[in-house]
Amino acid sequence: MQDIKIQMTNITKVFETQSMETHALKGIDLTIRSGEYISISGPSGCGKSTLLSILGLLDEATSGTYMIEGHDVTKLSLAQSAAIRAEKIGFIFQQFNLIDELSVFDNIALPLQYSQQQYSAQEITQRVEQCLECVEMLHRKDHRPNMLSGGQQQRIAIARALVANPAILLVDEPTGNLDSKNGDAIMDLLEKLNNDGTTICLVTHDPRYADRASIHYNLLDGQIQKAQEPLREAV
Ligand SMILES: Nc1ncnc2c1ncn2[C@@H]1O[C@H](COP(=O)(O)OP(=O)(O)OP(=O)(O)O)[C@@H](O)[C@H]1O
């Protein structure tokens, strides 16, 4: 059996304000195995961002259990969440969130420099260059992000997400700031990374892109359903 990277059991999230309660997630069961590429899509307000925030340890569930690579991460202190997030989760957002004052190389090296693991300068160079090669941007390592096109900047953001060798890539509307040609190229790159073994969870409202994952879930009113069975060999 493939290793389980992510396991959520009966996750709920209730937002309480003075006047009302919003049940944003209503009992999510989600298992993501090593090497899978899953997508989650659904209409505005269905709970996508809330689910992604909990998956990425940016927010806590109200109830339920969340395990990453067999470790219970349901209830952690802020410092513990930050450490596990840095080690286990690679984020890719619609905004590239690169630092224009730093070179492409230094942007990608940043997560390693802040990691609790000690990386030598040689390891950092090796890892950063490997990730730059992966996204076909090694020739731009000394550039500043603002000298690059949107599609190229997203490639750099993907390299940065990969650099600490995370358990999973959480990808939130990665093509939102790109035209369709560059958007398609980024989706091709994600597919290539998955073919090379990277586990991916993509959140998108775009059905065209959601269908490119091997397992597609629909989130509807805080509940999740599999939209499409993965292809299985005939028995
Ligand atoms: N901080 C908050 N306080 C109160 N309610 C919230 C909060 N964040 C989200 N909600 C509510 O939870 C529900 C799910 O919101 P969420 O942002 O997860 O949806 P979404 O699917 O990401 O929507 P969109 O596609 O428009 O970004 C919505 O009803 C929203 O109003």
Q: Is residue 235 part of a domain?
A: no
CA of 190 to the centre of ligand 1 (A): 26
DSSP state for residue 138 in the 8-state scheme: G
Q: What is the pLDDT of residues 208-235, one digit of tens each?
A: 899 999 999 999 999 998 885 555 444 4
Q: How many domains does the structure of the chain reveal? A: 1
Residue type, 65: T
Q: Is residue 234 part of a domain?
A: no
22 lines ligand 1 (CB under 6 A): yes
pLDDT score, position 207? 85
Block means of pLDDT (10 residues each) for the chain, 235 residues, are 88 94 96 96 92 96 96 93 92 94 97 88 96 95 96 95 94 92 93 94 91 94 79 48
Q: Is residue 46 part of a domain?
A: yes
**Per-residue tokens: 220:** 């509807």
Residue 137 structural domain: 4-228
User: Does ipTM top 0.90?
Assistant: yes
CATH code, 107:
3.40.50.300
First CA to last CA across the chain, in angstroms? 17
pLDDT score, position 235? 42
Mutate to test the pocket of ligand 1, among 19, 48, 59 (most ligand atoms within 8 A of CB): 48
Q: Which residue carries 């290793």 as its tokens?
A: 3
Residues 47, 52: Cα–Cα separation, whole Å: 9
Q: Is residue 72 part of a domain?
A: yes
203 lines ligand 1 (CB under 6 A): no
44 lines ligand 1 (CB under 6 A): yes
Q: Is residue 233 part of a domain?
A: no
48 lines ligand 1 (CB under 6 A): yes
Residue type, 211: D
